Structure 1
Amino acid sequence: MKKKVTILILLFIVVAFGASMYYLYQKNAEDPVVYETETPSTQTIIKKTVATGSILPLEEVLIKPNISGVIEEVFVEGGDYVKSGDLICRIKVVPNLNALNDAKNGIDEAKIALDDQLRNLERQNGLFAKGVISKVDLERAQVTYDQAKQTYGAANKRYDIVKTGTAKGYGNAANTQIRATVSGMVLEVPVEVGNQVIESNNFNEGTTIAAIADVEKMIFEGKVDESEVGKITEDLPLEITVGAIENTVFDAVLDYIAPKGNAENGSIQFEIKGTLKKQDSVFIRAGLSANASIILGRADSVLALKEALVQFDGKTKKPFVEIETSDQKFERKDLELGISDGIYVEVKSGIQAEDKIKVWNAVEPDEFAQNN
């Protein structure tokens, strides 16, 4: 009985040893894991965020009439350059009947008063000639007559202004002549001959006759999301690209960030403005849509790695890579990183330009052989 147990134990040991040897043989027969490597490169890394908007004049002035009427003649069109004081259009006044009637009544009343003072003056002249009244009384009567005469003339001018918008002697000050208040380019003239316009006053902004702006001073006006506004500050450089102008980048400077955001399409948007640097060779039309790349940081010609090659320690969260020391043998190197553009990251220290960095994606031996 003991002999059988001994034989079984020995047989088990032999089988277990054979199985172990077979497992080790199969293990050694498997292809080894192969890792590709990449070397660092020299890159110019620009960290930026993008805002969408449009190109607008820094200052745009809307020319509005100070009298209501009908456009009689237009002297400019979009694209014309004007100087302050140049005539833009002429308005034909359509008088208000109530105001016209009041002005006519004013003339009649002033004429009655003038005739009365004329008779009084003639009477005072006769009395003075007879020595009945003093010269002072005569002069007082003359002054009263002159005042009545002036009032009559003013009433006539008021009637002409109500009826035609101007009066004799006013020349270029006539309300019917609409003139430019600033120098610049006429961006648009939204009225035509025959259009009725409304005067600008405290209760009505009035009809726009023309829009004038200095097109040499243009700005980018756009919006950024609340998730990006915390990353930007005033005086950051901008790179403006305009969809209608290909292969051209315009430089600008961010000079305004709205202190308050507005809700749009479920997110909070903040308005930004940037002043474009003058471009002598390219004419930028007002209102063109544009994109602004806000440069948050820039590193020129620095040693860089693809971000996918960088690993982070599970405990310290510090970045590191593994560099090849011999064939498929790697050693860990801690890194000091700089700015990143989302694809490449600046390496300040930790590796050299000639180091081979382990790619953390194992490849099949056949594939590795083909690549090499």
Structure 2
Amino acid sequence: MNKIVKYSLIGLLVLGALWAAAFFIKSNSKSSVTYETQKPFISNIEKKTVATGKVVPEDEIEIKPQISGIIDKIYLVEGDKVKAGDLIAVIKVVPNEQSLNQARGRVRNAEIALNNVKIEYNRNKALFDKGVISSQDFNNLQLQFDQAKQELSNAQSDYQIIRVGSAGGSSSANTNIRATVDGTILEIPVEEGDQVIQSNNFNDGTTIATIADLGKMIFEGKVDEGEVGKLQVGTPLKISLGAVEGTELDAKLRFIAPKGVEETGAVQFKIEGDVEVNDSIFIRAGYSANASMVLEKRDSVMVIPEALLQFDNKTDKPYVEVAVGSPEEQKFERKDVEIGISDGVNVEIISGITEEDQVKQWNQTEPIKKGEDEEDSEEDSEA
């Protein structure tokens, strides 16, 4: 009986040891990873850059008054289309008292001078008719009389302009603010009752309205100094508007700034491009936009996905691993490659491999077993 119990215990211990060993081997064993491969292929590749900016009218014209005063009436609103000569607003003149008084005094002096010359003229005309004075003396008096009349007319016109803003016979009063070009009114920054200042040599004057032709738009943006050297005037652009989804406008680069501006530690260069406006899309001035442009282009070259590349830790040179033997053997050989341009997805291969090589995919990972995943989740939740 004791021998039976003894052998039973020994048997249980052996079975337990075998079960523990099997469990240990199973839980610690790792399945081998099978790497997939890809062949290089022929494709066109483009290196692009994107410049951020906005779409604005090519020319914006600011309408300013030629006389100071107060806005009496505004006849148009922002967004209205105008022709050159259309009336936008009318200014009511508030004359300067000192200037008005001086103009009034000038008129009075001209009247006094004219009356004095007129008396002398009439007296000498009678003598001239009787042949008492010579023709030369009478002609001098005639000239003085005509000049006095002209001086009075000028003084009266100046007084009228200072008082009401225009002379009585003027065909275009300074108080009438009119459009100088065809286009659309973008902005009217004043309101009725606002005081405005005339434009002169010492002051830009108050802007009554801003007019632009929305049919002639340009893209204004900035590019980094590392890319500006690869741009050329005439390069095609593709303009994407932030406010109009799914629409691209064609444009052509027309200007590259010769001087850069430092912004947040990087030097940026201003660029401009002529935008081909589509009549089916209404583009408002100031829309934010992105301009995509091709810096370099290669046609029918050998490429691989950029994710297949690796870089040496010491030399920082690119390389790939190419399959050697059958796919089941999973043997790979390192090959250094020379690369060209990249579009962010594919990269040009200049030398190092051929179209027949099978290039190893580096993003292959071992799948996590469901049981192990659940155990790890339980451990994390308990922690």
State the TM-score bracket (shorter-chain normalisation). Answer: 0.7 to 0.9
Question: Equivalent residue of 1:91, what SS?
Answer: strand
Give the drift of 1:164. 0.8
Instruction: Report the Cα distance in structure 1 between the residues aligned to 2:274 and 2:217, rounded to whole angstroms.
Output: 6
Q: Give the equivalent residue in structure 2 for 1:294.
A: 293
Q: Deviations over 1:134-166 (max 9, x none)?
A: 233223222211111111111101100011110
CA root-mean-square deviation: 2.8
Instruction: Report the Cα distance in structure 1 between the residues aligned to 2:357 and 2:218, rounded to whole angstroms.
Output: 47
Q: Give the equivalent residue in structure 2 for 1:118.
A: 118
Q: TM-score, normalised by structure 2?
A: 0.78
Letter in 2 for 1:272: I
Matches within 5 A, 1:1-372: 34-40=34-40, 45-172=45-172, 174-299=173-298, 303-311=302-310, 317=317, 319-323=319-323, 325-327=325-327, 328-330=330-332, 337-347=339-349, 350-352=353-355, 355-360=357-362, 363-364=365-366
Instruction: Report the Cα distance in structure 1 between the residues aligned to 2:253 and 2:303, rounded to whole angstroms.
Output: 28
Question: Equivalent residue of 1:71, what SS?
Answer: strand
Give the drift of 1:131. 2.9
Any stretches of 5+ residues in structure 2 without a counterpart? 1-28, 370-383
Instruction: Report the Cα distance in structure 2 between the residues aligned to 1:280 and 1:274, rounded to whole angstroms.
Output: 18
Q: Is the 8 A contact 1:190 1:208 kept in 2?
A: yes
Instruction: Report the Cα distance in structure 2 between the residues aligned to 1:195 and 1:33, rounded to whole angstroms.
Output: 79
Any stretches of 5+ residues in structure 1 without a counterpart? 1-28, 368-372
Give the drift of 1:277. 1.7
Q: Give the equivalent residue in structure 2 for 1:9.
A: none
Instruction: Report the Cα distance in structure 1 between the residues aligned to 2:92 and 2:212, rounded to whole angstroms.
Output: 26
Instruction: Report the Cα distance in structure 1 between the residues aligned to 2:134 and 2:285, rounded to whole angstroms.
Output: 75
Letter in 1 for 2:171: G
> Which stretch of the first structure deviates more once superposed, 112-121 or 38-47?
38-47
Letter in 1 for 2:223: V
Give the drift of 1:338. 3.8
Instruction: Report the Cα distance in structure 2 between the residues aligned to 1:198 and 1:30, rounded to whole angstroms.
Output: 85
Q: 1:189 to 1:43 in 2, by over 3 A?
A: farther
Q: Deviations over 1:266-287 (max 9, x none)?
A: 4333222121123222121101
> Which stretch of the first structure deviates more once superposed, 304-313 or 234-243?
304-313
Q: TM-score, normalised by structure 1?
A: 0.81
Q: 1:322 to 1:260 in 2, by over 3 A?
A: same
Q: Is the 8 A contact 1:324 1:358 kept in 2?
A: no
Give the drift of 1:178. 1.8
Q: Is the 8 A contact 2:249 2:276 kept in 1?
A: yes
Q: Give the equivalent residue in structure 1 for 2:379.
A: none
Q: Deviations over 1:181-209 (max 9, x none)?
A: 22222111112222111111111111111
Question: Equivalent residue of 1:193, what SS?
Answer: coil
Instruction: Report the Cα distance in structure 1 between the residues aligned to 2:196 and 2:300, rounded to whole angstroms.
Output: 61
Q: Is the 8 A contact 2:187 2:210 kept in 1?
A: yes
Letter in 1 for 2:286: G
Q: Deviations over 1:321-356 (max 9, x none)?
A: 51454222445666564421222113466432x753
Give the drift of 1:320. 4.8
Q: 1:312 to 1:134 in 2, by over 3 A?
A: same
Instruction: Report the Cα distance in structure 2 between the residues aligned to 1:362 and 1:59, rounded to whole angstroms.
Output: 57
Q: Deviations over 1:248-292 (max 9, x none)?
A: 112222222222222333433322212112322212110111122
Question: Equivalent residue of 1:360, what SS?
Answer: coil
Give the percent of matched residue pairs that are identical in Structure 1 and Structure 2: 53
Q: 1:206 to 1:362 in 2, by over 3 A?
A: closer
Instruction: Report the Cα distance in structure 1 between the residues aligned to 2:288 and 2:367, rounded to whole angstroms.
Output: 52
Q: Is the 8 A contact 1:110 1:152 kept in 2?
A: yes
Instruction: Report the Cα distance in structure 2 between the residues aligned to 1:198 and 1:63, rounded to whole angstroms.
Output: 12
Q: Is the 8 A contact 1:321 1:335 kept in 2?
A: no
- Count of aligned pairs between the two proteins: 337
Q: Is the 8 A contact 2:317 2:336 kept in 1?
A: no
